[in-house]
Structure 1
Amino acid sequence: MSRRHTMLGSATACCLVAALVSPVAANATVAANAATPRSPQASVTRPSPGQATAIQKKLRLSLGRSFAGAWVSPTGTVTVATTDAASAATIRRSGAVPKQVARSEASLAATQAKLNHTKAATSVTSWFVDATTNKVVVQARSVAAARHFVKASGADASAVTIVRSTRRPRPLYDIVGGERYWTSQYGCSVAFSVTGGFVTAGHCGNTGEQTSGSNQVSQGTFGGSSFPTNDYAWVNTNSSWTPTPKVNKWNGTYETVHGATPAAVGARVCRSGSTTNSRLWCGTIQELNATVNYEEGAVYGLIRTNICADPGDSGGALITETGGQAQGITSGGSGSCNDGQGSGDETFFQPVTEVLQILSGQGRQLVTDDGGPGPGPGSCSDYQTKVTANITSGSNQYQPNGNYTTTVTGTHAACLDGPDGVDFDLYLQKRSSSGTWTTVATSNSPNPDESISYNGTAGTYRYRVHAYDGSGNYTLGFNKP
């Protein structure tokens, strides 16, 4: 019997996969954010993003048609371009540096609009307004094709710069719990994102089997699978897919994953799956450590609930109704959600903690809004000392509790794990004999996570955590000599 056969109507139904169903393409969220290089000295001189935006907005209004764009340099200087030399004084009074140019922002936008309304060859990969050069940049693998494209658009060629580029942009898609993915023949659901992919049910696919998203875009490969005895698997996704800390609630919103603290019997939990995608189906945990004897073999240690599920929901997410704690991976059950109520049904779930423990040995973790594995707000767990705290945008904190002292020479190693979407920086400082602090090591990428390794002599040290942009919880793990 096929390991994916659905035994609907039996006391226990395994493997809620969508068997031999034609996949329906769905739109996926494009998630492509470019990181901007930064200067190591910028943290004390640069305006905040909010201040720079305020300056740009103010001058766009006051300069009117002469405004030609604005940008922030790596050293923190805000430059505002203008076609009117007489507006230089106004720009300086606003705290920015003026630059006179030939074309206004409106003129460049009109040039780009002409390109937007012209069909481009596939070798022409992108075009955009570059305020710093006061031109529209066209990137293409073929310069000849780009020239033809510009000419066909009717745009002013003198306002366009063509740049030869070998890059091949592609759409990027989000991995979201509860949403559909496909193997060569069957459909299952994503449970939760992990770094480098997602976890799902073991009966959905064998190790090495390839997957595609609900939109039929190539997605990844099963990196490991266990069924029966267990019912878990993980898929290693390609660079077109971005893991997110989200579970689809099927009402236009998402449940955010905060961690993976196991819930007790009687706790309210909800299930998300790609077949029963009319809503988030909720109920209670009935038992823990249940055994289900599927026709393919027994599976042990499952979570039993009174929630309904249907074929194709296999692999989907079980999460607490409040608190965003990942609980399980949809395995199998009896009954159906077709009546819209799911009353009297039962569905079993593989606890997610088991597969997360396996993946942690590979240096991978559950993707949460706190940037680390559940249940805490961060990783960096392999360090001698771990500190967790909350920091607000623009502020500094000194850890641990001000400073620490070492009496030997050796390596100071640290890991900072912040939430997604923020820019936190990390500095190691040493106190001199006069009592002043000097920064001896810096990690200030435009990302939430940083790391430092510094070979230092005996003395008193501290870590400065700086929230350059954004607020939230962070974890600082560090080792001292």
Structure 2
Amino acid sequence: MRRTTAIRTGLSAFLLLGSWATAGFAPASAAPSPANEAPASPGLLTAMQRDLGLTAGQARARLAAEKAATTVEAKARRAAGESYGGSWFTPNSGTLTVAVTSARTADAVRAAGAAVRLVEHNARQLDAAKKHIDALSAPPAGVSSWHVDPKANRVVVNVVATHKNDNNVREFLDRARQAGPVTVNETAQKPRTFAAGTVGGDPYYTGNVRCSIGFSVHGGFVTAGHCGQAGASVSGWDRSAIGNFQGSSFPDNDYAWVNVGSGWWTVPVVLGWGTVPDQLVRGSNEAPIGASICRSGSTTHWHCGTVLAKNETVNYSQGAVHQMTKTSVCAEGGDSGGSFLSGDQAQGVTSGGWGNCTSGGETWYQPINEILNRYGLALHTA
């Protein structure tokens, strides 16, 4: 691949020629952080302040609390056993709450460091109800998505308000309620994918579609499945060949991976697109519901919000996509496939949503660990 400059702002965060020294990068967060503070680049902190209304100190404190909650969640889940009903993080208090169906496990969960809420249904029962709904045929225009809400201890079905009285929507809801504990929520808009037509200067193309690169893996990168089918060729910002889609799934899932060659290398970093410093990727520990999360994409760059729901089925016009995570982060066309991070931990690749980064909206991502497991890939970390 020919280059005329060492670094180009529009180039993907992960496909750089040569080493750090060759590329001229000085990683913003290369030094280890204190054990009680999650490492974050100045750019990520700036984005959190802007999008979440925090001070710099509050952003650092929140990342540290979320990092601790991630560790607590794993211990508390083991302590709860079969009575585990889900968990969520509360930013104001900095605590992780774990729902349990048995008071006998409450003390063990508290000993793990979590607050406790007694509920009627455990996670296995809620997941079974959602799986039953997954098997139904949802009206493409009227039903937006559905997910398990551990705080409500129910499966929430999101219905587009203007279609709530449609006969096919009401029939779907009747069948959904037969699956178990279900509640209905009205939404203003329906999610869509965030691919875009060709726009010069952006990170990668397949055919006439432009998308964003997600995370480096050894041998390539992961991205959204709706951006290209297996075997499709991929070119970079300068239209030179990168590689091909080695695997792709959409709908049902929305993930893919692309191999790299022709002089393209991978590095464990997400660029700030020339406006904020870069963020190193150090792992893929899953953030809890309620945690802060930030997204990087080739169209709208850095934006932050919170994790709203997990294991949500999103009913796109092309078909349902399962096991998605919903966030309050905005996105726009061309951001598809881009990176979602919590602190320095990779979370997933941008799939779709509604709204924009002027008026706001919601965006879903496909969790990174599912993609890695599906294709037997190893995340490239710092």
Whichever structure has more helix as a proportion of its residues is 2
Query: Whose strand proportion is higher, 1 or 2?
Result: 1
Higher relative contact order (CA 8 A, sep 6+): 2
Larger Rg: 1
TM-score (norm 1): 0.39
What is the TM-score with the length of structure 2 in the denominator? 0.49
